[in-house]
Every structure is written in C-alpha cells, then in structure tokens.
C-alpha cells in the first residue's frame, strides 16, 4: 500500500472552483450596511517638516463622518512584531509611524498625514482636497551612500541614517587574496522594485455587538491584530482579524497596510469603514523591495578553487525601518551562496533615505545577494577562461558542509551541483540564430535560500483537525492564503492521514480569534510549519481512532490503515471497519476525535549580528535555473527563449502547486532582470501605473520547464521543503549571465534595459 493517498498528487485546490466561477469574496468585494469609505491624505514632499494640518474645512463637508490626524491616534509611534513570540531588540523592531506628526519630519512622498471617512468615495476624495497641510521643505537624502556620510541629512529623529549593520567573518581575507592567482572585483546596483500583485491593498472594519473591532483584510499576517490593538491602545483580545484569500502578496501584505487606518476610523465613527488603495496609491505608498549596492571581491587559484570572498552590501531601506534589519540579515547569511570559501568577510549596512519605505518582498535579501554572487562567480569563470558550470562544480557545497558565512552545517540533502546539471541539460539543443544581429546566449545560476523564519524568532504554528460524525473532516488554521494554495495544502495532509477524500475536507482558515494561530504566510514557512502542525494534529486523531478500531477488529493497531473511508487490516483487504462506525464507537466512549497541535521550529539565541555564527535558519532549499536568451544587438532588446528551473523540493505535496510556484517565480524574475525599476527622482516616484512599471505579460514569457528533485530531505511534512521564495532566486543572474554570453556585456545595474545593453555594446566597441 502506498504511503500517499492524496499527498503527492496534483489535486485542484479547494478554492479554485470559487475563483473560476467569480464567487470568491476578496477584501474589496465585501460590504456592510451603513459602510463608510475611507481615503488617506498623503504628503506630496519626500522630505519636509510638517508645520501644520488643518482639517476644519474637510470636516464641514456634507457626508464626511471623521477626519483624523496623528493626535487622534492613541499610540502613533509603533513597533510591529510580525507574529513572533519573542521580543527581539537591537534594531529588530520594525519601527514605523501611523500618521505624520505636526512639527516633525515627513520622510517620503505619499506618507500618510490624515484619514477621512465619508458616506461615499467621492466625498472622501473631496474632503482630502480640503485638507490644508503646511510644509517646510527640507533637502532630504535619497542616495544611500550619501545618507551614510557623517554630515548627511537625517531622515528621521535619530542621529544616524544607518539602521543597523551585519557581518560574517571567517579565515583571513587579506591572506586569501594574497594567495589568489586571479582576483575579480565588481559593483552591482539593484533598484527598488514593486510587488505588483493584481489585488491592491484592501480591508473593511466594523464593531460587533460587544465593541470588538473586526477587520476583514487581505493580509499575510493576521497576528497584526495585536499591533492594531496597540495602535488603538486597547487589549489585544478586542481586535479580531479575518483574513481573506489574497489576490497575490509576495511580501507586500506582510506589513500592516490599511488595517490600522480603518480600525481608527471605525473606532471613531462606530461604523463599518472600507479602505481600498488605488493602484497609484499602492505603487506610491506601500513597501518596496530593498534597493542594494553590492561590492564584491573574489579571489581564486588558476584551477578555479575560490580562496577568498569579500562582499559589502548597502541596503536602501527608504523612509522607515519596517522589516529592514531582517532583510539585511538574510542578505548577509546568503552572501557566499552555496560555495565553500575558506576566507570570507561580509559587511552589510542598511540605510534610511527619503524614498518610499522598503520591506518584505519574495526573496527577502537572499535574492539580492544571489544576484551578486552569481554574477561575480560568472565573471570569475570568464576571467579564468573556465566553463561557468565547471567553476560552480569545483566550489559547490555538498551535504554536511557548512555555509561559508555563518558556518551553519547543512545536514539535509544539498542537491548541488545536481540541480545545476539538470537545469542545464534541460535547455536541450541550442537555438540557432538566423540573423546576424540576433545573438543567442545561455546562462546558469544556482543558489540557496532558507525556508522557515530565523530560528531566534522561536517560530511556531498551530492547527486543529476534527473527524465529524459523518466522516467528514474539519481543519481549522489561522493560515493566510496568498494564492499559493497554503490553506488547501493542510486539507490534503489531513485527508492523507485520515483516509478521507479531498471533497470531504473543509478548511476554516485565517481568523485570529476562531482558528488556531498558524503564524505568518511569509518566509516560505507554511508548508514546513503549518504542514507539520496539520500532520501532527491529524496523526493524533488517527492514532486514537485506530486504537479503537483495533479493539473492535481485535488486531494490533500497527496492522491498521485508513484507506477510502475504511479502516483496513493491511495485507488483508477482506476485513475492515467503515470509518463512520469507528467514529461512532469512539463517540460512544467519549474518545476525542479532534486535536489541536503545535509545531515548533528549532529555537536558538540571537546571534552576534556583526559576526554571525551558527544556526540562523532551520534549513535551506537548493536549486538552479538555466536560461537561453536572444539579444538584438541593434536595438538591445532581450527575449528570454528558454527557462529551466530545477529545485530540490524535498517532496512535492501538490505537484501542480509546486510547479505553479516555480513557473511563476521564474517569470517574475524576467521582470526583475529586464524591466522592473521603481525609479525615483529625488524621492518622487516615476512609475505610478502598470503602464510605466512594467511586469511581464504572456508574450514576454516562455514556457518554463520545471524539474523537481524529490530528495525527501526537507524538514516539512513527508520530507517537503518550502519553494515559494527559492523559486524566484537564480533566475535574475541566470538571465544576466546569458546576456553576457550572448553579447559580452556585463549588466552591473538592473534592470537590463535595451538602453543599457546598447551602451555596454558601444563601450566594448570603443575599447577594442
């Protein structure tokens, strides 16, 4: 009998039908009687002193029910905790301000200053026009290197723009470079980018019969109920989050978006309030992916063996701290990639500037590091006149090796260089260019990324599983579903353990007060964390019912299995007990057929941030991507012809979902590599529509070939690894390396626009 009945099969998700029928009620699709519409009044300057805010005219407008400024916010300077149970100090609290304060600094264009609730959206918009804010413009600082200088303009109230600093040191880099026969140095610039999920930020709040604030919102973190309670200065149990199915998130719905605003307005008006960002507002004022400047120096022997690596990262955090420190930590830990390097020195500084704030984004620092190390190693290979695959083979870590940054030993299976070889082979026969001005090139990149949160956060997830009297299954979990199939996965696990068909499982999810808290849908943690919690709960119920069935059937419980709603004796199909009869037998004796289980990740202490050593993450996912591009050397246009994505997914619990992550991650990477650039001019954003901020369309996207390695070596249920974020790694440097292969142009500043490629071609031309 196969161990897997439901798991490992490409099962349609429980929510797919509701979505194709247009029946799913997203955050913006829900209304309540008497609901008010909210709008946010925002700063038009990136750096200014907010002299005064006059809301009296706005308040007088007919239909306006409330206008709030910072003085109406009980706890305006806030520290969000992002669901972790431990208090981490040392700059790790995600500091931000709900509304800008009179007499204090405005830090970015679009910073919220006042909130309006009115009877219609139009009235709310008009009220915003009637708000009078007086500013005293300040010079601001927009470039992170400028912001780090001793006499730089200060973005906030602290005496330095540097948020914090991270480091890893091993061996002696100076000595290592001395021993090196070839040294390559380079600098890469990576811009801010936007998540561009198709569902803008949205939520509605209302008071229930007992004065509790209810918030129905598109959020990756329902544990923010605590943070909203703190903003309102009320007990945590007086705020309830009901998370909706999200229309995409990618980290952009990890921070509080609309929730604190609508909660404040509901608290003031006692009425339901809905707030939905426009696309322009979403682009202007929600978080971005950190821009990075990366300086790399790498030294190797002529045989390709890397001796030393030094990396210095400057992370542009924008206007407020939010999740910046954690992004810095991820980048630092990932800075050497999956390579064994004896002498290493990594330094990362995260810096405030007067740009929109940066925070979580799929890849979370690891991704920016991956662009750096996979570019520099490719350059090193070229300088050594070595095959780019060969240099990776020579220096690649294997199972049991330690990261060259923190020295954390990887005890699970390291699918390298295996994934690289498979991805490369997957490209098959090279495309032959029929035109002289179209050059074909191929690139490879491999890497690692953590799944699960940093171990010093002491992460946990809980899940409830119950066998109903009719043999149906109830799963309750606080798990937010951002479209990756997170909720559906839990039902698959429960169904698998209890021998119940998928259609008989119902997941009740994402309610901060009624479903067990499962933690954030971030950090590629839900398959691992909540998957394990669901497995633990389901197995407890399974054991109880099998013990009872063993009594009835008079056999040892070890001999029993549950298949297709029957408790069977293994190897003897004639004898069985219908599941419903076993349930009745348990009920008659008061045997609990439910369980709420908690799964804990490994717990560690907080590392010394400037010299990190040991475990910082539970485990890592390894993989590679290979691409083939065609570059038009007349126009500089790049067309991605082929992508092969190969990852060790541990065990693909739902292969269709895993493929979906890998395909989507690759195509998102095409945007990052070639077109996405959230450009700002002195703090003023330049791309406030999806016509200016360019994400890939269907015609820009080749069919991604996915190769899943199932090592069974992951820490998740049945040996699964998380793949959401890792699948978005490698693709960007693979494309950049392919562009180099085609043209000899090394892209050092993303994105690789046609203009930059043409400039690179010209430079090389003049050099010759």
Partner 1 sequence: MEEYKIELIVNNEKISAITKAEESLLKFLRRNGFTEVKCGCEKGDCGTCTVIMNGKTIKSCITLAMQANGKEILTAKGLEKIEIGRRLQESFVKYGAVQCGFCTAGMLMAAKSYIDKDLEPDKTEIRKAISGNLCRCTGYKKIVEAIYDVAVKSHGLEGDTNV
Which spans of this chain sit near partner 1 (rule: CB under 8 A)? Answer: 10, 12-13, 15-26, 28-29, 195-200, 245-250, 276, 278-279, 482-485, 656-657, 659-660, 663-668, 689-691, 695, 697-699, 701, 703-704
Tell me the C-alpha distance between 230 and 482, whole Å. 25
In the complex, least distance from residue 642 CB atom to partner 1, rounded to whole angstroms: 12
Q: In what order do the strands lie in the sheet with 112-118?
A: 64-68, 112-118, 36-42, 273-276, 202-207, 213-217, 239-243
CB atoms within 10 A of CB 417: 24
The minimum distance between CB 616 and partner 1, in angstroms, equals 29
> For residues 126 and 75, is the Cβ–Cβ distance under 8 A?
no
Nearest distance, CB of residue 675 and partner 1, angstroms: 13
Shortest Å, Cβ 428 to partner 1: 17
- Rounded to the nearest angstrom, the gap between the alpha carbon of residue 657 and the centroid of all alpha carbons in its chain is 16
What is the nearest approach in angstroms of partner 1 to the Cβ of residue 118?
16
Q: Least distance to partner 1 from the beta carbon of 670, Å?
A: 9
Q: What does the alpha-carbon distance between residue 75 and residue 675 come to, in Å, rounded to a whole number?
A: 40
> Judged by CB, which is closer to partner 1: 735, or 758?
735
**What's the min distance (Å) between Cβ of 420 and partner 1?**
21
CB of 275 to partner 1, least distance (A): 14
Question: Between residues 665 and 714, which has the closer beta carbon with respect to partner 1?
Answer: 665
Q: Which of 729, 675, 693, 757 is closest to 283 using CA atoms? A: 693
Closest CA to 632 of 408, 359, 433, 416: 433
Give the pairing type, strands 64-68 and 112-118.
antiparallel
Q: Which of 533, 462, 536, 538 is nearest to 499 (CA)?
A: 538
- Beta carbon of residue 376, minimum distance to partner 1 (angstroms, whole number): 28
> CA–CA separation, 583 vs 738, rounded Å?
60
Complex with partner 1: residue 42 or 536, whichever CB lies closer: 42
- CB 367 → partner 1: shortest distance, Å? 16
Place of tokens 């991704």: 367
Q: Report the residue number, 191 or 200, with the smaller CB distance to partner 1.
A: 200
Measured from the CB atom, is 278 or 543 closer to partner 1?
A: 278
The smaller minimum CB distance to partner 1, of residues 608 and 692, is found at 692
**What residues have CB less than 8 Å from 83, skipping those under 6 apart?**
221, 223, 224, 517, 519, 520
Q: How many CB atoms sit inside 10 A of residue 104's CB?
A: 13
Q: Are 62 and 125 in contact (CB under 8 A)?
A: no
Instruction: Count CA atoms closer than 13 A to 645's CA, side-chain side.
Output: 30
Question: Closer CB to partner 1, residue 208 or residue 703?
Answer: 703
Alpha helices (H) in 131-275, listed in sequence order? 144-147, 173-179, 225-232, 259-269
Q: Rounded to the nearest 5°, which phi and psi values hold at 173?
A: -65, -35
Which lies closer to partner 1 via its Cβ, residue 231 or residue 487?
Answer: 487
Q: How far is the CB of 375 from partner 1 (least distance, A)?
A: 23
How many angstroms separate the CA atoms of 349 and 326, rounded?
Answer: 12
Q: Which is nearer to partner 1, 19 or 756 (CB)?
A: 19
Nearer to partner 1, 662 or 720 (CB): 662
Shortest reach from residue 516's CB to partner 1, in Å: 24
> Cβ 658 to partner 1, closest distance in Å?
10
| Cα-based distances in Å from 17 to 12, 23, 656, 690 | 9, 8, 15, 28
- Residue 261 and residue 682: Cα distance in Å, rounded? 28
The secondary structure of residue 601, as a DSSP letter, is -
Between 96 and 250, CB nearer to partner 1: 250
Pick between residue 97 and residue 126 the one whose CB is nearest to partner 1: 126
| DSSP per-residue letters across 121-173 | HHHHHHHHHH-EEEEEE-----SHHHHTSTTPPPSSSSS-SEEEEEEEEES-H
Nearer to partner 1, 4 or 17 (CB): 17
Distance CA 454, CA 617 (A): 5
């Amino acid at each position: 009998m196969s161990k897997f009945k439901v798991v490992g099969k490409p099962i349609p998700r429980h929510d797919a039908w509701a979505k194709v029928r247009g029946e799913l009620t997203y955050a913006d699709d829900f209304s309540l009687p008497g609901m008010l519409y909210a709008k946010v009044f925002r700063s038009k300057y990136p750096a200014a002193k907010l002299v005064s805010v006059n809301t009296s005219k706005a308040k007088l407008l007919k239909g306006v029910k409330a206008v709030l400024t910072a003085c109406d916010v009980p706890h305006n300077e806030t520290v969000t905790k992002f669901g972790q149970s431990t208090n981490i100090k040392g700059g790790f609290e995600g500091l931000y301000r709900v509304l800008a304060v009179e007499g204090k600094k405005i830090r970015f264009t679009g910073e919220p200053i006042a909130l309006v609730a009115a009877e219609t959206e139009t009235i709310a918009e008009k009220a915003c026009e009637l708000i009078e804010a007086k500013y005293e413009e300040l010079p601001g600082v927009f470039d992170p290197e400028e912001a780090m200088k001793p006499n730089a303009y200060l973005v906030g109230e602290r005496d330095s723009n540097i948020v914090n600093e991270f480091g890893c040191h091993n061996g002696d880099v100076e000595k290592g470079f001395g021993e090196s026969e070839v040294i390559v140095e380079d600098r890469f610039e990576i811009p801010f980018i936007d998540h561009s999920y198709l569902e803008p930020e949205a939520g509605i709040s209302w008071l229930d019969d007992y004065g509790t604030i209810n918030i129905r919102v598109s959020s990756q973190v329902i544990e923010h109920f605590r943070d909203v309670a703190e903003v309102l200065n009320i007990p945590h149990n007086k705020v309830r989050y009901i998370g909706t199915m999200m229309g995409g998130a990618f980290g952009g719905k990890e921070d509080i978006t609309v929730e604190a605003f609508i909660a404040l307005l509901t608290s003031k008006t006692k009425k339901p309030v809905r707030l939905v960002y426009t696309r322009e507002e979403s682009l202007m004022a929600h978080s971005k992916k950190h821009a990075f400047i990366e300086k790399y120096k790498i030294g190797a022997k002529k045989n390709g063996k890397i001796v030393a690596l030094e990396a210095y990262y400057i992370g542009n955090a924008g206007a407020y701290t939010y999740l910046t420190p954690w992004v810095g930590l991820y980048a630092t830990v990932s800075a050497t990639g999956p390579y064994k390097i004896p002498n290493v020195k990594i330094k990362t500084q995260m810096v405030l500037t007067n740009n929109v704030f940066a925070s979580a984004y799929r890849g979370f620092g690891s991704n920016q590091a991956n662009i750096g190390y996979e570019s520099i190693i490719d350059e090193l290979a070229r300088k050594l006149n070595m095959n780019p695959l060969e240099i990776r083979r020579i220096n690649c870590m294997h199972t049991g090796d330690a990261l060259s940054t923190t020295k954390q030993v990887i005890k699970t299976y390291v699918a390298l260089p295996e994934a690289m070889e498979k991805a490369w082979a997957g490209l098959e026969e090279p495309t032959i260019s029929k035109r002289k001005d179209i050059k074909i090139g191929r690139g490879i990149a491999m890497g690692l990324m953590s799944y699960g949160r940093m171990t010093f956060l002491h992460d946990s997830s809980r899940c409830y599983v119950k066998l109903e009297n009719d043999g149906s299954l109830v799963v309750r979990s606080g798990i937010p579903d951002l479209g990756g199939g997170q909720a559906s996965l839990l039902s698959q696990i429960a169904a698998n353990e209890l021998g119940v068909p998928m259609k008989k499982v119902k997941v009740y999810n994402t309610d901060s007060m009624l479903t067990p808290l499962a933690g954030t849908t971030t950090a590629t943690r839900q398959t691992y964390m909540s998957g394990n919690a669901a497995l633990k709960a389901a197995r407890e119920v399974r054991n109880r019912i099998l013990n009872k069935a063993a009594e009835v059937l008079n056999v040892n419980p070890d001999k029993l299995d549950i298949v297709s709603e029957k408790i069977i004796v293994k190897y003897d199909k004639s004898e069985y007990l219908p599941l419903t009869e076993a349930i009745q037998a348990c009920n008659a004796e008061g045997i609990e057929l439910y369980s709420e289980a908690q799964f804990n990740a490994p717990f560690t202490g907080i590392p010394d941030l400037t010299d990190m050593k040991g475990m910082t993450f539970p485990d890592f996912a390894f993989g590679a991507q290979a691409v083939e591009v065609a570059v038009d050397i007349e126009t500089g246009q790049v067309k991605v012809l082929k992508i092969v994505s190969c990852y060790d997914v541990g065990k693909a619990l739902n292969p269709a979902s895993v493929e979906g992550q890998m395909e989507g991650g690759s195509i998102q990477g095409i945007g990052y590599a070639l077109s996405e650039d959230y450009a700002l001019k002195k703090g003023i954003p330049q791309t406030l529509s999806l016509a200016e901020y360019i994400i890939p369309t269907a015609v820009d996207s080749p069919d991604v070939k996915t190769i899943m390695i199932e090592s069974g070596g992951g820490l998740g249920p049945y040996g699964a690894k998380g793949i959401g974020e890792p699948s978005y790694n490698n693709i960007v440097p693979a494309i950049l390396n392919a562009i180099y292969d085609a043209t000899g142009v090394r892209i050092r500043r993303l994105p690789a626009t046609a203009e930059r490629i043409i400039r690179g071609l010209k430079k090389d031309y003049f050099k010759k």
